[in-house]
Structure 1
Amino acid sequence: MGLLFEQIDSQPSAIGEITLRRRRIPAISDRDVYEVKLGEEFLMSSMFVDAEIALSDIGLNAAEGESLRVVVGGLGLGYTAVAALQHERVDELLVVEYLEPVIRWHQQALVPLGADLNADSRSRYVHGSFFDLAVADPESGGFDPDAPGSTFDAILLDIDHSPRALLHDSSASFYTTENISRMARQLNPRGIFAMWSNEGEDDDFMKVLRQVFIDVECHVVTFFNPFQNRESFNTVYVARKPG
């Protein structure tokens, strides 16, 4: 069976100690569970990935055209990024991650999906703050450091727990009409913005999205939670740039 618990790596970061752990919980699962913690706060567990996968599926199913250029904000354990690569229309995928140790975990295949991302030539890691790059001048900056001014067909965001439950106070200003509008400049006409949330539909954030986008929806994604022995849910916001 191997070890029931292992701390694989722990590194300092600009926003606190970031830790990767692996555990086996025989009473609940017959597979290894990978966990990411920031300080004492759990960021992600491979036990619950349905909504992270749904973020890519809902967002990219709404995207139009072929040869899609896609940005994923937040690497985590890689589930959103790998799900995006399952879509044959995706031609290029940029995965923007602020925490360099998280990128290294994938590059070194310390997490199960790292090898998949590394092997796919469509995928590229970008070390940087999604929130800073989102509001950068689109003519001289933006998400792609190799091609400033690039635009994309879809931007998929999975970083904060919700527009109110933030990992760091520095991202609070992003969830405003002004900065969502700035990010939208990096979307092609009729491009898609989609975002994961750990909480239910936020009426104020929906109002912000409707001031910038059309076809704004909030999808509920349910999954079984064995720790609570009941259904749990996350949400996925999806919106389309006019054009």
Structure 2
Amino acid sequence: MAKFEEIGTASIPGQGGELRLLQRNDEFSIRIAGKSGELMNTRLHGSEDALAELACERIAQRPGARVLIGGLGMGFTLAAALKALGEDAEIVVAELVPGVVEWNRGPLGDAAGRPLDDPRTRVSPGDVGELLRREPGGFDAIMLDVDNGPEGLTRRENDWLYSPRGLAAAQQALRPEGVLAVWSAGQDPAFTERLRRVGLLVEEVTVRAHRPGKGAKHRIWLAY
């Protein structure tokens, strides 16, 4: 079997650190330099698809739906949101690492169908937390797939986003009857309780990394 080869690196703002983009034939992997395992793989995106599908089904019929995706990743959540929403929708993608956007415009783009080329997509460079604070009442749905979920892995600053203050900011950024959807690599009962403490109703959904029904079990919280 062919081996993965590194084809790009990207610095993580803040604490530093580096992401690595690797390729093996038509398969891509994103990893953290100096750590074992991978963050993302183009063959395993079922739960990223589900994040958008579960959130968008609740607001898809709204005219001019506007949604925010925190974390571009490999573009699969964005692609699923574009598929679920109408032609008058706007999808804002907040991405902290400029190199990730460049990868999605370049070698990674075909894997998800080049969703950054869709005219409904707008990229907002920088921290999604800052965008939440800037736009109260700005979104019908907010989808957070930042780091490894509530348990930060790449960047300590991400902890704020999943704190009571960060969740309150997300709640305030929602329009009436909007939905907050949060992806995680695993369960986190303490995070469920934090969502409830800021006054949100919470539904937890277990999804699989690979469809149909295969791969690791990931968790998505839907909060209203």
TM-score computed with the length of structure 2 as normaliser:
0.86
Cα RMSD for the two superposed structures: 2.4
Distance 1:231 1:7 in 2: 24
- Asked if residue 206 in structure 1 is aligned to residue 195 in structure 2, the reply is no
Q: Please give the secondary structure, in 2, of the residue aligned with 1:62.
A: coil
Assess if the C-alpha contact under 8 Å between 2:104 and 2:114 holds in 1.
Answer: no
2:71 is aligned, of 70, 74, 95, to 74
Deviates more, 1:174-183 or 1:47-56: 174-183
- Verify: 1:152 aligned to 2:167, yes or no: no
Please state if 1:117 is matched with 2:104: no
Deviation at 1:231, TM superposition (A): 4.6
- Any stretches of 5+ residues in structure 2 without a counterpart? none
- Are 2:94 and 2:125, in contact at CA under 8 Å, matched by a contact in 1? yes
Alignment of 1:172-191 (within 5 A): 172-191=159-178
Do 2:207 and 2:219's aligned partners in 1 also have CA atoms closer than 8 Å? yes
Q: Please, which runs of 5 or more residues in structure 1 have no aligned partner?
A: 25-31, 143-148
Which residue of the partner structure matches residue 52 of structure 2? 56
How far apart are the structure 2 equivalents of 1:11 and 1:178? 29
Q: List, as ranges, runs of 4+ consecutive aligned residues in structure 1 with deviation greater than 6 Å.
A: none
Equivalent residue number for residue 11 of structure 1: 10
1:133 aligns with 2:120: no
Corresponding residue of 2:92: 94
Give me the TM-score of the superposition, normalised by structure 1.
0.80
Greater mean alpha carbon deviation, residues 182-191 or residues 205-214:
205-214
Equivalent residue number for residue 38 of structure 1: 32
Local SS of the residue matching 1:185 = helix
Closer, same or farther: CA 60–232 of 1 in aligned 2, 3 Å: same
Q: Deviations over 1:31-63 (max 9, x none)?
A: x22111221342211121110000000111123
**1: CA distance between counterparts of 2:147 and 2:92?**
19
Deviation at residue 235 of structure 1 after TM alignment:
0.8
The residue type paired with residue 222 of structure 2 is V
| Distance in 2 between residues matched to 1:77 and 1:162, nearest whole Å | 16
- Between structure 1 and structure 2, the one with the greater Rg is 1
Q: Kindly provide the CA deviation profile for residues 9-51 of structure 1, in whole angstroms up to 9, marking residues without a partner as x.
A: 1233323122211114xxxxxxx22111221342211121110
Partner of residue 218, structure 2: 234
Amino acid at match of 2:197: Q
Please tell me whether residue 216 in structure 1 is matched to residue 213 in structure 2. no
**What is the CA-CA distance between 1:224 and the residue it aligns to?**
5.4
Give 1:5's aligned amino acid.
Answer: F
Secondary structure of 1:104's aligned partner: helix
1: distance between equivalents of 2:123 and 2:12? 18
